[in-house]
Amino acid sequence: MNLLVTGGAGFIGSNFVRFLRRERPDWKVVNLDKLTYAGNAESLPDARDFVHGDIADAKLVERVMRGVDAVVNLAAESHVDRSILGPGVFVETNVGGTQVLLDGARQAGVKRFVQVSTDEVYGSLGPTGKFNENSPLRPSSPYSASKAAADLLALSYAHTFGMDVVVTRCSNNYGPYQFPEKLIPLMIANALEGRRLPVYGDGLQIRDWIHVEDHCRALLAALEKSRAGEVYNVGSDNEWPNLRIVSRLLEILGKPAELIEHVKDRPGHDRRYAIDASKARAELGWAPRIDFSDGLVATVDWYVKNRGWWERVRTGEYRTYYERNYGAR
């Protein structure tokens, strides 16, 4: 298999490349990543087959696609709060970049294209019920709207051009190498530095958490076992209010609850997400394996042991790592 992974220097992408090196050691995996603020060359397992570039660069994409059997598109602007401050780049990368990749894949005769999406395309739930693949798309933020647009574009290439495209929609991931702007790594890093933990609004918003390795296993199953033109939800049946997660993190770290500070709510904040992943379980033979309490303790442990990784992110030092390490090549 000759696989193109995009966004492989990000949180899920770097975990996915590492997972594939272990699970499919004979595959050639090319990793295309722009190294935006969220891309970190220090997260890569190695420098093998790394291409530094933009998924919206049609010429580069045409070159990279030659000889590729399948694509897993993880490259994206991924942070909701940033999409509220500046939506433009979300449309450029998440919509425009996905379209360039789809065209490139089509021209190169790529056999399968996995578009990695999110439960946020469905919008927000009330206190009961779960999203299934037929739930209406009601994205609330510029981020989720750009992801919904990309999903629809990808599915249109399946419908119009007969391309083999599959869309996966996963819930909130946690685990190692997550950028410390997202809830769990931000709270761990702040607690370790004795800083306040900013909880938006009342903190009773609910997210459905899944370990990144379980998501990686689902992506591999989607790549190998899914039906063309289909959408698969991925989730772990693991709903938690934000405040409970933050309190649990403080407990694991042995830090005082007084560090919690309620701050202004996120504009348009989705109240609750919950995923029905029964289709992926039935059709892909996939099931999550990592228990949340074990996964959370292991994740805290990773951030404690890899303090240098997130400290270099916070100081900005990580941004020069690529040049320092690979610059001479």
Q: Active-site residues: which are they?
A: 119-120, 143
- Candidates 207, 211, 215, 217: give the one binding ligand DAU (CB under 6 A): 207
Residue 273: contacted member of ligand NAD, ligand DAU, none (CB under 5 to 8 Å, by partner type): ligand DAU
Nearest to 94 by CA among 106, 112, 82: 82
State which residue, 65 or 218, has the beta carbon closest to ligand DAU.
218
78 binds ligand DAU (CB under 6 A): yes
H helix or E strand, kind and range, residue 239: strand 239-241
Full DSSP string of 252-308: HHT--GGGEEEEPPPTT---B--B--HHHHHHH-------HHHHHHHHHHHHHHTHH
Q: Which residues of 201-221 are buried (b: 16+ CB within 10 A; e: fewer)?
A: eebebbbbbbbbbbbbbbbbb
Binding mask 24-43 for ligand NAD (x = CB under 6 A): ---------xxxx-xx----
- Check residue 249 and report its DSSP letter: H
Structure tokens at 139: 């994205």
Does residue 304 contact residue 296 with C-beta atoms inside 8 Å?
A: no
Residue 104: contacted member of ligand NAD, ligand DAU, none (CB under 5 to 8 Å, by partner type): none
Beta bridge partners of 234: 170
What letter represents residue 201's amino acid? Answer: G
9 binds ligand NAD (CB under 6 A): yes
Q: Name the burial class of residue 234, with classes exposed (0-12), middle (13-18) and buried (19+) by CB atoms within 10 angstroms of its CB.
A: buried
Residue 7: contacted member of ligand NAD, ligand DAU, none (CB under 5 to 8 Å, by partner type): ligand NAD
State which residue, 68 or 199, has the beta carbon closest to ligand DAU.
199
207 binds ligand NAD (CB under 6 A): no
Binding mask 187-206 for ligand DAU (x = CB under 6 A): -----------xxx----x-
* SS3 assignment, position 143: helix
275 binds ligand DAU (CB under 6 A): no
Q: Using CB under 6 A, which residues numbered 8 to 47 contact ligand DAU?
A: none
235 binds ligand NAD (CB under 6 A): no
Gap between the Cα atoms of 122 and 140, Å rounded: 9
Gap between the Cα atoms of 43 and 236, Å rounded: 25
Q: How far is the CB of 56 from ligand DAU (least distance, A)?
A: 19
71 binds ligand NAD (CB under 6 A): no
Q: How far is CA 57 from the centre of its chain?
A: 21
* SS3 assignment, position 178: coil
State which residue, 38 or 68, has the beta carbon closest to ligand NAD.
38
φ/ψ of 131, rounded to 5, equals -80, 130
Q: Using CB under 6 A, which residues numbered 130 to 169 contact ligand NAD?
A: 147
95 binds ligand NAD (CB under 6 A): no
99 binds ligand NAD (CB under 6 A): no
Q: Name the burial class of residue 230, with classes exposed (0-12), middle (13-18) and buried (19+) by CB atoms within 10 angstroms of its CB.
A: middle
Residue nearest to ligand NAD (CB): 10
174 binds ligand DAU (CB under 6 A): no
Residues that bind ligand DAU (CB under 6 A): 78-80, 118-120, 171-172, 182-183, 186, 198-200, 205, 207, 242, 266, 273
Residues that bind ligand NAD (CB under 6 A): 6-7, 9-13, 33-36, 38-39, 54-56, 74-78, 93, 97, 116, 118, 147, 170, 172-173, 179
